[in-house]
Amino acid sequence: MTTATTDTGTRPDEPPAKAGHVGVLLVNLGTPDATDYWSMRRYLKEFLSDRRVIELTRWIWWPVLNLIILTTRPSRSGRNYEAVWNRERNESPLRTYTRAQAEKLDAAIKAGAFGKSARPIVVDWAMRYGNPSIASRLDALQAQGCDRILCVPLYPQYAASSSATVADKVFDKLKTMRWQPVVRIAPPWFDDPIYIEALAKSVRDGLAGLDFGPQAVVASYHGLPQAYCDKGDPYDRHCEATTKLLREALGYSTEQMPMVFQSRFGAAKWLEPYLDATMKALPGKGVKRVAVIAPGFVADCLETIEEIGVENREFFLAAGGEKFARIDCLNDSEDGMKVISHVVRRELQGWI
């Protein structure tokens, strides 16, 4: 990846002299900088203060967040992150994979994957919550001469609490810039054939590596409060479309590939069925061997490695299940990079 350099002008407000480059910014959800109490507290405060994530009235949510959640949850969340932490790089798996995706995309472009571009392309990555921030990487891309920037929220299915909040943060930064780059936000790709085939291949390859044949392959998506979809968020319909297309690609029935939602928070009703309840119920229905996939995540993270691979595995086995497997996300695999490259190339049309 190209390293950012600052090219200052003669006045403090003068924009960089470089121009004519196209930037690509891959953006994922976020990650704490470390697993200690204060690092976790900073991360959770930023995440749970986002009004798109938590839509409760502020006078109700503020005391709950600051007096209860941010007092008790950082330690527990820190322990969970510690269990999946990349100790070699001293970072979370999500940061490791997002960086790798950006580096591989950059290398592929430099090797000619997009053909000969009239404009040099610079690839970078950011996190919506935590570091590196979206604002800092937009500054870095502009300093490298990028006057056109494609921002890619790394969420195949759209939700206001994920995709839209990336756009919010991008435009918050643009409000502060005297010389604004032209910005595009990539749309979701929940039904793109390239994505569906990559998912299908990952399932086939994942099952081929198991020592048992699952009776069901459960497709688990991050949850969302039901009220958000009732207000018009298309997230549930996008997840249903992805699952339907994936079933068709694999020749599975609804029973062979049930769709569930995970990671619910608080007492409100979230999208159902819930992953944990499903894991506890399946053995009683005679389903003793399962594999779980996470089509809504482009990279493995706490929610896939620990919540699916540890917590829900234990629920399933404790309920009488016999065999459980978690299939990796696409991550920076060859097929995963085909999806990201396809989305980026498609959305750069007219610029390169």
Q: Do 39 and 126 share a domain, yes or no?
A: yes
Whether 10 is covered by a domain: the verdict is no
Q: Do 36 and 61 share a domain, yes or no?
A: yes
- pLDDT for residue 267: 81
- pLDDT for residue 5: 42
Whether 73 is covered by a domain: the verdict is yes
Omega cis (within 30) before 283: no
pLDDT along the chain (352 residues), means of 10: 46 63 97 97 96 92 93 95 96 98 97 87 97 98 96 98 97 96 98 98 98 98 97 98 98 98 90 98 98 98 97 98 98 98 96 91
Whether 210 is covered by a domain: the verdict is yes
Q: What is the pTM of this model?
A: 0.93
The helix/strand/coil state of 116 is coil
Q: Do 28 and 153 share a domain, yes or no?
A: yes
Owning domain of residue 106: 21-188+335-347
Q: Do 161 and 205 share a domain, yes or no?
A: no
Give the number of domains in the chain: 2
- pLDDT for residue 15: 53
Distance CA 246, CA 237 (A): 14
- pLDDT for residue 18: 75
- pLDDT for residue 7: 45
Q: Do 40 and 145 share a domain, yes or no?
A: yes
Whether 276 is covered by a domain: the verdict is yes
- pLDDT for residue 79: 96
Q: Do 33 and 159 share a domain, yes or no?
A: yes
Q: Do 173 and 90 share a domain, yes or no?
A: yes
Whether 16 is covered by a domain: the verdict is no
Burial class for 318, CB neighbours closer than 10 Å (0-12, 13-18, 19+): exposed
Q: Please list, in sequence order, all residues whose beta carbon lies within 8 angstroms of the beta carbon of residue 191, skipping any fewer than 6 positions away.
A: 238, 241, 242, 245
Strand order in the sheet with 21-31: 121-130, 21-31, 146-153, 182-185
- pLDDT for residue 256: 97
Q: Do 169 and 259 share a domain, yes or no?
A: no
Q: Do 181 and 303 share a domain, yes or no?
A: no
Whether 72 is covered by a domain: the verdict is yes
Q: Do 96 and 153 share a domain, yes or no?
A: yes
Whether 81 is covered by a domain: the verdict is yes
CATH number of the domain residue 50 falls in: 3.40.50.1400
